Amino acid sequence: MGLRLKVDPGFSKHHLEDVPVLLCPNHSNWWDGFVACLCHHRIAPDHRFGLLQEEEHLDNYAWFRRAGVLGIDLRTSRASVAGTRTALRYLSGAGLSERHQSSSLWVFPQGVLLDAAAPIESRAGASFLARKSGARVVPIGFRYVWMREAKPTILVLVGAPIDSDEATPERLDQELSSLLERIDARAKSEDLDGFVTVVRGGFSLQHFWDWLRGLLRSRSQ
């Protein structure tokens, strides 16, 4: 697989200065968390990396926590309280090192892994975190497309930031759906003008382990 990224003309890294940020992609593939890791330095290079993941998955891969993955139990609203508090503390800057300007947290607004063809229906969680933390929200489209190749290319389109008080579930649905439609149109016409190569075709689990080792090493310094 290869990975390419393009940013919306309305996006600027200046919009992320000195504020916490929620990076909100759609969720349709097991690789999505890995894609978020690889794209983070292109989108918010001065921000600490964090990703919100279902607690049950972290039970099997507990060492992900050292890489910045936070757990949340989504089975019930009551169960999710502890994970929500942890996410808000993270966004507030708790434990932030001097080398980071602020905190960015990747959150999948849909809450669960869904088929790529499923309509976007965001849960209330991402909007709640934005409202409570004052975080700016960046909608991001992820698509896995086949373009005359044996393996898919992952296309990532970064949308314009949304202020915390405007980031309702309905607004996220609208923005994510629009980004995915734009990616689909580009893929259909095989027009990738403006998409920057993040990883060339052929990356695999080995890339994941290499990335993880590098991140853990940097966090231990």
Q: Domain holding 15: CATH number? A: 3.40.1130
In total, how many domains does the chain have?
A: 1
Percent of the chain residues past pLDDT 70, beyond the cut: 85
- pTM metric for this prediction: 0.88
Q: Can you tell me the distance from the alpha carbon of 205 to that of 86, in angstroms, rounded to the nearest whole number?
A: 29
SS3 89: helix
3-state secondary structure of 61: coil
Contact 157, 182 (CB under 8 A): yes
* pLDDT (0 to 100) of residue 179: 98
pLDDT at 151 over 80: no
CA neighbor of 154 nearest in space, from 117, 192, 120: 192
Phi, psi of 76, deg, nearest 5: -145, 160
Query: The tokens of 118 are what?
Result: 């499923």
Q: Is the pLDDT of residue 62 over 70?
A: no
Give the C-alpha separation, 88 to 125, whole Å.
11
So what's the pLDDT on residue 149?
66
> Domain span at residue 130?
2-220
Question: In which band, very low, low, confident or very high, does the pLDDT at 205 lie, cut at 50, 70 and 90?
Answer: low
User: How far, in Å, are 47, 94, 95, 102, 138 from residue 98 at the CA level?
Assistant: 11, 12, 10, 9, 24
